[in-house]
Amino acid sequence: MRNAILFSIILIFSLLTGLSAVYAASPTSNIAKEKRWAEQIKENLIDGKLVWLKAKDQKEKFLGIDMKETARHAEGGAILLHGMGGHPDWPDVIFPLRTRLPEYGWTTLSIQMPILDNDAALADYAPLFSLVAGRINAAIALLKSEGINNIVIIGHSLGATMGAYYLSQHSKSDVRAFVGIGMGMSKHYKSMDTPTSLARITIPVLDLYGEEDLFSVLHSVKRRADAAIQAGNKNYYPLQIAGADHFFQDQDDVLVKRVGGWLNRYAAGKELQIK
C-alpha cells in the first residue's frame, strides 16, 4: 500500500513537471518589450496611424502602423515585416518603405513581429516562427476590411525569412507578391532557411540585397536562385544594389525606387479602396 502511494506521488509529480516543461517551452514573444516599443512609437509617430491587431492563436494584441496611399491610383496594400528584435517603425529599411510607398499607390501596414530579449541569438527565434502566421493573417484581415484585396508582403532580414516561411506554408493565401530584402540562410532550421522556403513559393518574388550585405545573404544567392527554379517560379527577380549594406544605409532613395517600381510592374492592382 505504501509503495502504491509513493508510486502515485511520483507519477503525479512527473506529470506536473512534464506539463510545466511543455508550458515553459511554449513559444512566446517578449510582450513587455513589445509594449515598450509601442510606447516609444506612440510618442514619436508623425506619419501613419497606430492600429492594434489580434492574432487568433495569441492572447495579446500587437501593434501595427497603417498609412494610406497618396497616389492617383490605389495599387493595393503592403504588409511590412521588420528584422530581428525590431519594431514597425524601425529607421532602417522599414521606415522609408512604409512612409514612401504610399506615393507609389500602396497603403502600408507595418506590423510588430514576435521578438525576444536583446541578448537573444538568431537561433533562439526558431520557436517563434509558429506565431508568424497568426500575425500576418491578422494584418491581411485588416487590409481586407479596409477594402484592399491586392496584398503583398515586404520583409527585411529576419522579417524576410518569416515572410518567406509564411508563404511557403500558405500557398493559397491572399498575398500576390513578395519582396525579401536581405534574405539569408540557416544550416540548422528549415523554417529559418529562405532557400528552403523559396523552393515552395510561386508568386512573384523580388530578392533584393546589398553588394556589401551579410555573409549569410551573399553566400546563399545561388541557393535562392536555384530554389526559385525548383519552384518553377518564372517571376523570381534577384537584384543586388551596388554599395548597399544589410541596412541600406544612405540608400533610402534607391531602396524605395526599386521596391516601388517593381511592385507597380509585377503586383499593381489599381483597385478601388473604401475611404
Which H or E element spans position 65?
strand 62-67
Residue 165 forms part of a structural domain: yes
**Mean pLDDT, the chain, as a whole number?**
90
Portion of the chain with pLDDT greater than 90, in percent: 84
Q: Identify the bridge partners of residue 152 per DSSP, sorted by sequence position.
A: 78, 177
Contact 69, 106 (CB under 8 A): yes
Task: Give the type of residue at 65.
Answer: I
**pLDDT one-digit tens code per residue, 37-64:** 999 999 999 999 999 999 998 999 999 9
Residue 30 forms part of a structural domain: yes
Q: Give the model's pLDDT for residue 48.
A: 96
Alpha-carbon Rg for the chain, nearest whole angstrom, is 20
**Which has the closest alpha carbon to 143: 35, 29, 65, 46?**
65
CB proximity list for 177: less than 8 A, separation 6 or greater: 152, 153, 203, 204, 205, 206, 263, 266, 267
Contact 77, 109 (CB under 8 A): yes
Residue 18 forms part of a structural domain: no
Contact 63, 89 (CB under 8 A): no
Start-to-end C-alpha separation, the chain? 74
**H helix runs in the chain, sequence order:** 2-25, 31-44, 94-100, 132-145, 158-169, 194-198, 215-218, 221-231, 252-266
Residue 20 binned pLDDT confidence (cut-offs 50, 70, 90): very low
Residue 170 forms part of a structural domain: yes
Contact 100, 256 (CB under 8 A): yes
pLDDT of residue 202 exceeding 70, the answer is yes
> Between β-strands 62-67 and 106-111, what pairing exists: parallel, antiparallel or unpaired?
antiparallel
Q: Identify the bridge partners of residue 240 per DSSP, sorted by sequence position.
A: 209
pLDDT of residue 152 exceeding 60, the answer is yes
Residue 65 forms part of a structural domain: yes
Q: Give the separation between CA 146 and CA 83, rounded to whole angstroms.
A: 26
Contact 84, 157 (CB under 8 A): yes
Residue 132 forms part of a structural domain: yes
DSSP 8-class letter at 88: T
Q: Give the model's pLDDT for residue 187.
A: 85
Residue 7 binned pLDDT confidence (cut-offs 50, 70, 90): very low
Q: In Å, how far are 68, 154, 168, 176, 215 from 204, measured between CA atoms?
A: 23, 12, 13, 7, 25
Q: What average pLDDT does this structure show over 196-217?
A: 97
pLDDT of residue 210 exceeding 90, the answer is yes
Q: How many domains does the chain fold into?
A: 1
- Domain of residue 64 covers 26-266
Q: Give the separation between CA 99 and CA 48, rounded to whole angstroms.
A: 8
What is this structure's pTM?
0.89
**Which has the closest alpha carbon to 106: 239, 273, 251?**
273
Residue 168's domain is classified under what CATH number?
A: 3.40.50.1820
Neighbour count for residue 159 (Cβ, 10 Å): 29
Residue 140 forms part of a structural domain: yes
pLDDT of residue 96 exceeding 70, the answer is yes
pLDDT of residue 234 exceeding 60, the answer is yes
Q: What average pLDDT does this structure show over 157-178?
A: 95
CA angle 95/96/98 to nearest 5° reads 65
pLDDT of residue 11 exceeding 60, the answer is no
Residue 8 forms part of a structural domain: no
